[in-house]
Structure 1
């Protein structure tokens, strides 16, 4: 916090600082165990009617009555991570989008409208990175119209927690009645250590998933649309660990795009978990990506997937940002 020359805390924030990363200290309304103050660090996403809304890196929002503030200031962006590659949110957002291509897309300024007949929110949401070329309300109306024309609900994929992310946009969406339905993390890591892991079970690599691969894929009854999404991307590879029957013991998918290798659909037969199969899949895919010139890895994982998170921790993945899907309200309600 900021101290004056006399040693007193000082408040150096105004509503003009909305959109900046800040650190504030406020008095607790109900002090306990001798604690009188609470500190909060995040992006100041709004300051309306005497209430500050601060979005933490996780995406959690904290409302603070301005009358309880005792100190506050704008703080620098978080320092670069000590492990793994460096990257901006716009770069990663576009890399991730290229790795999970929709069946149909259209530009709205710098935004991208994406549709795939409802197969996954990622392929059926607008990616609002950059300037839509319209005032926000007009842009959101266009988004809702575009998805309505296709018989789909309108979703917006946003992010929090990294330089260049969209805390203010999240707040604007919520103010207009858009509801956050799903949140997850995008993690990054250096690729070489993943490929350097010891060999495990034999892993087969192919350019197409095949019926056996799809038989293990968790989205049962994968349609032709799903197959088209899965096979799209700059350089797509599918990994299979053969099982005793027709269905593989484990599978995975990797998309190589320049320096980035994106991992997805790493799934293991529940009866064969904790045998190193997921690690074997990741290692085989990482080696192929390294051969194609990639040096950095990324993946997406939901917060409640404890097993996957533990694996990715061991492989050196660190959270870059949290991403969220917001659903538009019904017409006439927002």
Structure 2
């Protein structure tokens, strides 16, 4: 049977789906294990998310990943993402990065567990807990999978819980541009070096009140751009942020948001295209974004323009 440390890995599950003529009927499902509780397991398959009661599971096991990026590539992308979302307080624990930003977003307030923490794993987890206690925050660890599988296993033993699985998705910038059709019937995408009050206000509707640390994170990158789209009346109907960081010049896309009345019109795709054009002018050839696996609408949107999952990560929370 599967265990908590298998979360984030590719698995196959054979489940009981019925009985016919005194014979048990089975169905197999292949995908990524995204949750495992005392009563159910959840896997992300090509056809969507499937929740299976444990009492229906006949057999389940981990299987080799279909495609696993090299560890160095995962670390490089995670470090580029850290540079694109810079927490105002950061410390090093060997290769791990401890980050704090007044609890605004998990990315900026978790220890990034990549590389060697320069001490035994149990001692590294102890050090993370001590560091966050000193900063008055609950300890969080961002564990990229399957790279940080030993970290997740150790945290399982300590009773740490997990937030919903996050997909780190990538696409070549030229492929992204090619996937977005030219649309003359939509309002233009405006790009600016600074966000502006209305941009912040729209983001706050989704992310909550933005503290001072949020502004430092969003604007504290040398190469950053803020996209906005307005309707005919001048009202803001879409926003997003782009940042180019790292030796490989990754374009990081974040905070893509469309006002409810303006959804399903192709505006979000146009915003992605505007960010891709901006990044191309700065020598970027690959883009990434981070999206929760359970956000089916967003995952579908990104899939339509060529994004695919590079790796995943779990944000782990220490017991209170």
5+ unaligned residues in a row in structure 2: which ranges? 1-5, 33-41
Which of 188, 191, 196 is the matching residue for 1:205?
Answer: 191
Choose from 89, 110, 113 the match for 1:125. 110
- Which one is further off, 117-126 or 199-208? 199-208
Looking at structure 1, the residues matched to 224 and 97 of structure 2 have their Cα atoms a distance apart, in angstroms, of 22
CA distance in 1, matches of 2:207, 2:10: 41
Counterpart pick for 2:305 among 304, 315, 324: 315
Q: Could you tell me the TM-score, scaled by structure 1's length? A: 0.74
2:240 is aligned, of 242, 246, 252, to 252
1:187 partnered with 2:162: no
Q: How does 1:1-334 map to 2 (within 5 A)?
A: 78-79=66-67, 88-160=73-145, 165-196=147-178, 197=180, 198-199=182-183, 200-217=186-203, 218-243=206-231, 247-257=235-245, 258-330=248-320
- Kindly name which structure, 1 or 2, has the bigger radius of gyration based on alpha carbons: 1
SS at match of 2:188: coil
CA spacing shift, 1:90–1:194, aligned 2, 3 Å: same
Q: Equivalent residue of 2:112, what SS?
A: coil
Output one character per residue of 1:135-162: Cα deviation in whole Å (capped at 9) or x when no partner: 11211111111101111000000122xx
Which deviates further from its counterpart, 270-279 or 31-40? Answer: 31-40
**DSSP 3-state at the match of 2:167:** strand
CA drift of 1:247 comes to 5.0
The aligned residue for residue 46 of structure 1 is none
- Alpha-carbon offset, residue 190 of structure 1: 1.6
Secondary structure (helix, strand or coil) at the match of 2:294 reads coil
How far off is 1:259 after superposition? 3.3
* Contact 1:127–1:156 (Cα < 8 Å) also in 2: yes
More helix by share: 2
Q: Secondary structure at the match of 1:222?
A: coil
1: CA distance between counterparts of 2:117 and 2:44? Answer: 25
Is the CA contact (8 Å cut-off) linking 1:182 and 1:326 kept in structure 2?
A: no
SS in 2 for 1:239: strand
C-alpha change, 1:275 and 1:139, in structure 2 (3 Å) is: same
Check whether the contact 2:244–2:252 (CA below 8 A) recurs between aligned residues.
yes
Q: TM-score, structure 2 length as denominator?
A: 0.77
* 183 and 42 in structure 1: CA distance in 2 versus 1, 3 angstrom threshold: closer
Provide the rounded CA distance (Å) in 2 between the counterparts of 1:275 and 1:309.
17
| 8 Å contact from structure 2 (residues 90, 99) kept in 1 | yes
Query: Which of 165-174 and 240-249 deviates more?
Result: 240-249
- Compute the RMSD of aligned alpha carbons: 3.6
- Give the deviation of 1:248 after TM superposition: 1.2
Alignment match, 1:51 = none
CA gap 1:147/1:88 in 2 versus in 1, 3 angstroms: same
Tell me, what secondary structure is at the counterpart of 1:94?
Answer: helix
Q: CA deviation at 1:78?
A: 3.2
Cα distance in 1 for residues equivalent to 2:261 and 2:316:
35
